[in-house]
Amino acid sequence: MKKSVIILLMVLALAGCTGTQKGAGIGALAGAGLGAIIGYQSGHAAEGALIGGAVGAAGGALAGDAMEEEKDK
């Protein structure tokens, strides 16, 4: 239940954003989740989530920007 509320809030928050901002938000969320899972296995879930979120945001922003540029062509 709690996860679905968080996802719903993320979707609503990203509704009026640019493609780059949407990509960064989605990438950060996915990266943090994956980083937490990987970090949990070594006993460092919080650190994994932070690193994964940062890397995911950067990658998502780049992907969102590239998609916007392709759409504008």
**What is the pTM (predicted TM-score) of this model?**
0.69
Residue whose tokens read 């679905």: 4
pLDDT of residue 2 exceeding 70, the answer is: no
Produce one character per residue of 14-47: b if its CB has 16 or more CB atoms within 10 Å, e if not: beeeebbbbbbbbbbbbbbbbbbeebeeeeeeee
Nearest to 28, CA basis, from 64, 70, 4, 68: 64
C-alpha to C-alpha distance for 39 and 21, rounded to whole angstroms: 26
What are the pLDDT digits (tens) for 8-54? 676 666 666 777 888 888 888 889 999 999 999 999 999 999 999 99
